[in-house]
Amino acid sequence: MKIKLAFISFAILITTILAGCEPLLVLDPKGPQAETTANVIWLSIFTMAVIVIVVIAMLVIMLFKYRASKQSEDYEPPHIEGNPIVEGLIIGIPVLIVIFLSIVSVKSTYEVESVPEGYENQEPMIIYAASSNWKWHFSYPEQDIETLNYVILPTHRPVEFRLYSYGPITSFWIPQLAGQKYAMADMVTKINIVAEVPGDYPGRNSNFSGKGFAENTFTATALSPSEFDKWVEDIHSTAEPLTEEKFDELLEPGHLGQMTFTGTHLEFNPAPEGEHAGHQHHQGSSEDHDNHEEHENHEDHSNH
């Protein structure tokens, strides 16, 4: 009776606590990529729950069935050889579970890395997302707009984010739209996203990158295509242009609010891709490099 009462009290306590919690964002998808991720999470939870329930049930049965009984002190249990069927199940079932989860993981990984099904024939909109301590810079080369700490997306259109960093490695994550992807210096990584439901979705850097990491967040807002076009028009009629001097100020470590500019920093500080990829990123021009080598050669000649 006491055990039953304790179990009921525990169940009521857990229910009360969970009732006051907001839904997990990763389990509330608003796009096909996030939906694939959520399905994999639910499948993993269900698989693990079945395993845990079966193991606990078997443990309880074994404890009751084979517990110590009131046998005489000289009692010796009969010798029993190993059972090949039981041993096969003990080894085979875990192997099958691992194979099943591996297939699911590989299949879902390819799905979230590619353009979602049904959107393959649409031209994706390119948005460059660059992180700095501790901000997010979003550049729209097609719309000639740049935003700070927020990004606007049109619904039902594939968006290809091209990620890189002006500091330590960060991780770009909008839980309700897609999984995480690293942003690094000297290279560009890509992530495809489609927002199917209008709304505001929190995004953040999910990789520790210093003391300002906790507030390295942004907001992703999904608008209908017509509302998105109107937003672009409003920005071009109201926002100030982004200059190289202003961008250098924005790169300074610290937290800032949301800002909007016409033009992008890609014009004077390109992303590390193509001819700007690899170790050329954040280095001087080829002319400066040649002058540096000429200066070193001159010093060597003088020493001789």
Query: Hey, what amino acid is at 221?
Result: T
Alpha-carbon distance of 49 to 57, in angstroms, equals: 12
**Domains: count for the chain:** 1
Identify whether 95 is part of a domain: no
Identify whether 5 is part of a domain: no
Strand partners, 172: 181, 205
Alpha-carbon distance of 227 to 225, in angstroms, equals: 5
Identify whether 6 is part of a domain: no
The per-residue pLDDT for 82 is 80
The DSSP secondary-structure symbol of 165 reads E
Residues 6+ apart with CB under 8 A from 14: none
| pLDDT tens, N- to C-terminus, the chain (304 residues) | 556 666 666 666 666 555 545 568 999 999 999 999 999 999 999 999 999 999 999 999 988 887 777 777 787 877 878 888 988 998 999 999 999 999 999 999 999 999 998 999 999 999 999 999 999 999 999 999 999 999 999 999 999 999 999 999 999 999 999 999 999 999 999 999 999 999 999 999 999 998 999 999 999 999 999 999 999 999 999 999 999 999 999 999 999 999 999 999 999 999 999 888 875 444 444 344 444 444 444 444 444 4
SS3 content of the chain, % helix, strand, coil (to 5): 45, 20, 35
Alpha-carbon distance of 239 to 259, in angstroms, equals: 9
The per-residue pLDDT for 299 is 45
Using an 8 Å Cβ cutoff, are 34 and 177 in contact? yes
The per-residue pLDDT for 79 is 81
Identify whether 21 is part of a domain: no
The boundaries of the domain holding residue 150 are: 125-280
Give the CATH number for residue 214. Answer: 2.60.40.420
Identify whether 85 is part of a domain: no
Identify whether 58 is part of a domain: no
